[in-house]
């Protein structure tokens, strides 16, 4: 659906926290990152069906973690052997988790298909939880939206950190766009509304004596939310100490999420649930005769380092990923709406589906130049 952007929309969304949009590479035709000149419309029945799909996929992913741990299939993930036991212990303790985002392909007619799961460091949280909600309130006050993300996050933090407890939240200073800082600042605000005392900092400013971790004021870090992927942490000099700390002070997201944030998960899911209507065939060793497939780096991000192979063409993107290995997944074209291709980002908070954010691209791969489009429930 098309519509007229609100006058002064840039200032409006920046006041709501979405300042980094000016630093995002613009898409085709100079399209901005936040684009309210278009929106997607769903029926309530469609949203209810998608909620069931997301809940089921999340449950299947937890089964996949349990399977990998019990069968000791860490090697398929390329995870170093020294991490196998700590990940196992983290899962056996059920170290608490907060959120994740499923990326789905859905055309409104057939079954939604899982493309991947952003389970450790998902972003686009502010635009999903806050900015598109206020857009709806301003432009379509009589409509609804699949969006209980904010309330669900508050409730989730209340579940496993004592009220008035200090929660440190960290991101890396190397993120030049400001997106990570924005997502961490929003999570700090949510934590404060849950009754916690948030303390924001950079990962680079966390100190360690080899046993415990401290902030710049030498306060011990008891609870840490980190928007910094585990595969980066374990390769750092402080990685072994960070892993050891999980025994007493597990970070969020927990160590066992390494088994969900790696694209090897998709092959494990296909092995455990073959021909499931919401999954695509996926393999780790080779394409298994698929005529059209996409090769994804196991730890790739923002569409980098991918290769789409079809009988009539091969499309590749550049990037620093791939040395860790590839997943081969059946290529499932995104739907086409006037030349734009949406990916549904379905949020899970705790163990329950909580909302939706949509990103569009004019190409076949969603990358860091894709635009965010809001949505409504109508009819």
Mean pLDDT of 207-228: 93
- Kindly report whether the peptide bond that precedes residue 253 is cis, defined as omega within 30 degrees of 0: yes
- 96-140: pLDDT as tens digits: 999 999 999 999 889 999 999 999 999 999 999 999 999 999 999
Domain boundaries defined on the chain: 9-263+335-377, 281-330
Position 23 confidence tier, pLDDT thresholds 50, 70, 90: low
Average pLDDT of the chain?
A: 93
Residue 163 has pLDDT above 80, yes or no: no
Identify whether the C-beta of residue 24 lies closer than 8 Å to the C-beta of residue 177. Answer: yes
Number of H helices, E strands in the chain: 10, 17
Enter the pTM of the model.
Answer: 0.94
Structure confidence by residue, pLDDT tens digits, 287-301? 999 999 999 999 888
Confidence (pLDDT) at 373: 96
**Could you tell me which residue, 302 or 191, shows the higher pLDDT?**
191
DSSP state of 358: E
For residues 19 and 244, give the distance between their C-alpha atoms in angstroms, rounded to a whole number.
Answer: 37
Residue 21 has pLDDT above 80, yes or no: no
Of 142 and 164, which is predicted with more confidence? 142
Q: What percent of the chain has pLDDT over 70?
A: 98
Average pLDDT over residues 282-287: 94
**In the 8-state DSSP scheme, what is residue 71?**
H
Least confident of 54-68, 162-176, 184-198, 340-354: 162-176
Write down the pLDDT at residue 362: 84
DSSP 147: B
């Amino acid at each position: 659906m098309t519509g007229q952007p609100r006058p002064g929309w840039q200032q409006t969304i920046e006041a709501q926290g979405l300042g980094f949009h000016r630093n995002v590479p613009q898409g085709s035709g100079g399209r901005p990152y936040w684009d309210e000149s278009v929106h997607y419309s769903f029926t309530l029945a469609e949203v209810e069906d998608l909620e069931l799909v997301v809940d089921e996929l999340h449950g299947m992913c937890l089964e996949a973690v349990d399977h990998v741990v019990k069968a000791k299939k860490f090697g398929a993930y390329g995870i170093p052997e020294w991490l196998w036991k700590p990940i196992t212990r983290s899962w056996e303790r059920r170290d608490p988790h907060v959120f994740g985002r499923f990326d789905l392909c859905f055309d409104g007619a057939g079954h939604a298909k899982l493309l991947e799961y952003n389970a450790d460091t998902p972003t686009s949280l502010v635009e999903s939880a806050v900015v598109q909600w206020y857009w709806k309130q301003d432009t379509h006050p009589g409509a609804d939206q699949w969006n209980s993300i904010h309330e669900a996050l508050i409730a989730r933090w209340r579940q496993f950190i004592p009220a008035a407890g200090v929660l440190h939240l960290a991101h890396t200073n190397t993120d030049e766009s400001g997106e990570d800082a924005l997502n961490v600042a929003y999570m700090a605000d949510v934590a404060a509304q849950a009754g916690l005392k948030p303390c924001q900092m950079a990962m680079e400013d966390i100190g360690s004596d080899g046993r415990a971790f401290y902030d710049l004021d030498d306060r011990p870090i008891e609870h840490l939310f980190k928007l910094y992927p585990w595969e980066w942490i374990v390769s750092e000099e402080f990685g072994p100490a960070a892993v050891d700390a999980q025994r007493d002070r597990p970070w969020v997201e927990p160590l066992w999420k390494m088994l969900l944030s790696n694209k090897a998960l998709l092959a494990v899911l296909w092995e455990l649930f073959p021909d499931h209507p919401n999954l695509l065939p996926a393999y780790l060793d080779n394409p298994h005769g698929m005529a059209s497939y996409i090769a994804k780096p196991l730890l790739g991000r923002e569409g980098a380092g991918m290769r789409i192979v079809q009988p009539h063409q091969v499309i590749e993107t550049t990037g620093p990923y791939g040395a860790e290995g590839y997943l081969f997944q059946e290529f499932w074209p995104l739907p086409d709406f006037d030349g734009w291709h949406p990916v549904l980002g379905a949020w899970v908070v705790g163990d329950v589906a909580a909302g939706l954010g949509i990103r569009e691209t004019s190409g076949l791969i969603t990358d860091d130049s894709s635009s965010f489009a809001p949505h409504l429930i109508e009819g």
